[in-house]
């Protein structure tokens, strides 16, 4: 493996320079004219890349996986179908990652924590008081409020500084396994890219690569609802007639002007939280462009119903949107069948797996049509994540990180949260880089080497 922090384009050094020029990392010099790498001047061009690690999906987990792999010197390509990094944290607006702390102590750190704290600092925000131990206090008080857009910018900067080749607006259309490499074809806007790579980390949230190569995935008949995050403003709770509003709300539900899920917690609860996270999109599914399109349309249609309903009621003459995310957040689609499956019993009793590589900490948090009643963990419990839950059973040179890890449904409802996804991402990035270097498949990489590496890069590894 060429252990250099560089972009690995098979064409020429000029081509690499053009890529960097496009990113503004190097300045244009006279000798390097546009299109000098030999790619077609037409919109359709074909490019070949060779890399050590390909991370598919630049969301909560994938961003961290790519930074870790590249910081270890692996030639790393990060392909993201959207326009920015961060996924659910940024594009879906779940900009309150949790939980890095358990029972007053930090249990998850590393690259995710580094980016989260940088975002807080640069935006003059404040971290919660993690030391304050009040068992009755909601877990949400210990989540870190960040600016999603700023996090995306800082994550992008960290990727570029580490030498990650970022590829937005692209996604794999074929994945074939060779003896000790993968041939992945990416499609993008006006471009097709063929990548020859040693290790893949599937961070799509949907285990899409795992599905493409035909390895088994699990999925519930009815998945948890999603949420389009938005905020409403321009009304005064103290001047609303909730009796009349409640009657009008019931009437609107009856005549179909509003649908169940448009306003959670009743009209008062919904308005008190200014919408925020208080709506549900049934069957929200991001696992294909078709279902994802429907999910986003349903989220926005709900918003329009709510605004039109409220605008017709007294006290909402100045109603306005203060914030509206570009995508509906999706809680659940596919999970892999991994070498190890984390059960809810493992999670709630804080099982320390032999191959534990990270902690996780969150209540069991399964949403249904009525909302969610989080079930906190018993005092002192800190669950762990085994390496085997990130490795699809029967696979070679392939890992996942993020919400699609191998776990039963209830365990997954807690494992899917962001600090845990970031910790998984870092562990998968380190393991894939070490695997590419040694020529081993991730399952055979020395566990002590993985743990030592993670600690060197600031992560907390279960004792
Ligand atoms: C409404 C809602 C509220 C939540 N509340 C909390 C909370 O309070 N605290 C908390 O910590 N967590 C919360 N979560 C959970 C958490 O945010 C997610 O489970 C987590 O962010 C998922 O991370 P991920 O990396 O697995 O996926 P994502 O962050 O969704 O990233 C997946 C990325 O892959 C990209 N992608 C997908 N397919 C492809 C492809 N084929 N090719 C290229 N790119 C692709 C996507 O564009 C995306 O950027 C919430 C989730 C939702 C939806």
Each residue's pLDDT tens digit, 71-100: 999 999 999 999 999 999 999 999 999 999
- Ligand 1 pocket test: which of 204, 228, 273 has the largest number of ligand atoms within 8 Å of its C-beta? 204
Instruction: Give residue 43's pLDDT band: very low, low, confident or very high (50, 70, 90).
Output: very low
Residue 359 CB-density burial (10 A; 0-12 exposed, 13-18 middle, 19+ buried): buried
Instruction: Give residue 344's pLDDT band: very low, low, confident or very high (50, 70, 90).
Output: very high
- In the three-class reduction of DSSP (H, G, I as helix; E, B as strand; rest coil), residue 199 is classed as strand
User: Is the model's pTM score more than 0.75?
Assistant: yes
Kindly report which listed range (14-28, 42-56, 126-140, 272-286) carries the lowest average pLDDT score.
Answer: 14-28
**Does residue 33 carry a pLDDT above 70?**
no
Phi first, then psi, for residue 289 (nearest 5°) are -60, -30
Average pLDDT over the chain, rounded to whole? 91
- Give pLDDT tens digits for 140-159: 889 999 999 999 999 999 99
**pLDDT, position 42:** 52
Q: Which atom of ligand 1 is nearest to the CA of 97?
A: 11
Instruction: Give residue 133's pLDDT band: very low, low, confident or very high (50, 70, 90).
Output: low
CA–CA distance, 269 with 246 (Å, rounded to integer):
11
Distance 40 CA to ligand 1 centre (A): 35
Domain 1-224+332-463 is found in CATH 2.60.40.770: no
**Does residue 11 carry a pLDDT above 70?**
no
Q: CA distances (Å), 194 to each of 12, 80, 397, 441, 451, in order?
A: 16, 15, 18, 22, 33
**Do residues 162 and 115 make contact, with C-beta atoms less than 8 angstroms apart?**
no
Distance 37 CA to ligand 1 centre (A): 36
Closest residue by CA, ligand 1 atom 51: 331
- Lookup: tokens for 143: 């989540």
DSSP conformation class of 139: G
Residue 109 CB-density burial (10 A; 0-12 exposed, 13-18 middle, 19+ buried): buried
CA–CA distance, 23 with 20 (Å, rounded to integer):
5
Pocket of ligand 1 (CB under 6 A): 56-62, 79-82, 87-89, 92, 94, 96-98, 143, 171, 203-205, 208, 226-227, 277, 329-331, 402-403, 416-418, 421
Sequence ranges of the domains in the chain:
1-224+332-463, 230-324
| Element at 48 (helix H, strand E) | strand 45-56
**Sequential DSSP letters for 268-313:** HHHHHTTEET---BTT---SSHHHHHHHHHHHHHHHHHHHHHHHTS
- Name the CA dihedral angle for 101, 106, 112, 113, rounded to a multiple of 10 degrees: 100
**pLDDT, position 65:** 99
Q: Determine the average pLDDT of the residues in 11-28.
A: 38
CA–CA distance, 353 with 295 (Å, rounded to integer):
37
Distance 444 CA to ligand 1 centre (A): 29
**Does residue 304 carry a pLDDT above 70?**
yes
DSSP conformation class of 213: T
Sign of the CA dihedral running 404, 406, 410, 413: negative
Pairing of strands 191-202, 335-336: unpaired
DSSP conformation class of 238: G
């Amino acid at each position: 493996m060429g252990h250099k922090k560089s972009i690995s384009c098979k064409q020429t050094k000029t081509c690499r320079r053009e890529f960097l020029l496009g990113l503004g990392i190097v300045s244009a010099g006279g000798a390097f004219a546009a299109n000098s790498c030999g790619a077609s001047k037409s919109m359709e061009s074909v490019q070949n890349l060779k890399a050590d690690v390909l991370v598919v999906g630049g969301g909560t987990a994938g961003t961290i996986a790519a930074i870790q792999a590249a910081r270890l010197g692996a030639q790393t390509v990060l392909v993201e179908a959207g326009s920015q990094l961060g996924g659910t944290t940024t594009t879906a607006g779940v900009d309150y990652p949790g939980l890095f702390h358990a029972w007053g102590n930090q249990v998850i750190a590393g690259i995710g924590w580094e980016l989260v704290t940088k975002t807080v600092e640069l935006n003059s925000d404040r971290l919660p008081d993690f030391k304050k131990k009040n068992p009755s206090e909601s877990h949400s008080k210990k989540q870190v409020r960040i600016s999603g857009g700023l996090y995306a910018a800082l994550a992008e900067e960290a990727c570029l500084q580490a030498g990650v080749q970022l590829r937005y607006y692209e996604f794999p259309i074929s994945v074939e396994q060779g003896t000790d490499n993968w041939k992945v074809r990416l499609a993008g806007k006006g471009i097709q890219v063929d990548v020859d790579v040693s290790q893949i980390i599937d961070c799509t949230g949907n285990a899409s690569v795992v599905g493409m190569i035909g390895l088994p995935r699990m999925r519930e008949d009815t998945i948890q609802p999603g949420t389009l995050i938005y905020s409403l403003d321009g009304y005064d709770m103290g001047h609303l007639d909730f009796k009349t509003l409640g009657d009008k709300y019931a009437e609107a539900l009856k005549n179909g002007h509003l649908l169940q899920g448009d306003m959670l917690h009743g009209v008062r609860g919904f308005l008190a939280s200014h919408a925020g996270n208080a709506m549900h999109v049934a069957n929200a599914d991001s696992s294909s462009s078709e279902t994802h399109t429907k999910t986003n349309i349903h989220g926005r249609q709900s918003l329009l119903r709510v605004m039109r309903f409220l605008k017709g009621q007294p006290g909402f003459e100045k109603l306005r949107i203060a914030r509206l995310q570009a995508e509906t957040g999706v809680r659940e689609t596919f999970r892999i069948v991994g070498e190890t499956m984390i059960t809810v019993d493992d999670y709630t009793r804080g099982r320390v797996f032999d191959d534990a590589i990270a902690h996780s900490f969150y209540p069991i948090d399964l949403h249904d049509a009525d909302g969610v009643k989080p079930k906190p963990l018993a005092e002192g419990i800190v669950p762990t994540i085994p390496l085997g839950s990130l490795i699809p059973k029967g696979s070679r040179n392939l890992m996942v990180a993020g919400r699609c890890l191998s776990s039963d449904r209830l365990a997954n409802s807690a494992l899917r949260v962001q600090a845990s996804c970031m910790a998984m991402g870092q562990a998968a990035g380190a393991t894939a880089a070490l695997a590419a270097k040694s020529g081993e498949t991730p399952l055979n990489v020395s566990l002590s080497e993985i743990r030592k590496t993670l600690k060197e890069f600031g992560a907390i590894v279960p004792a």
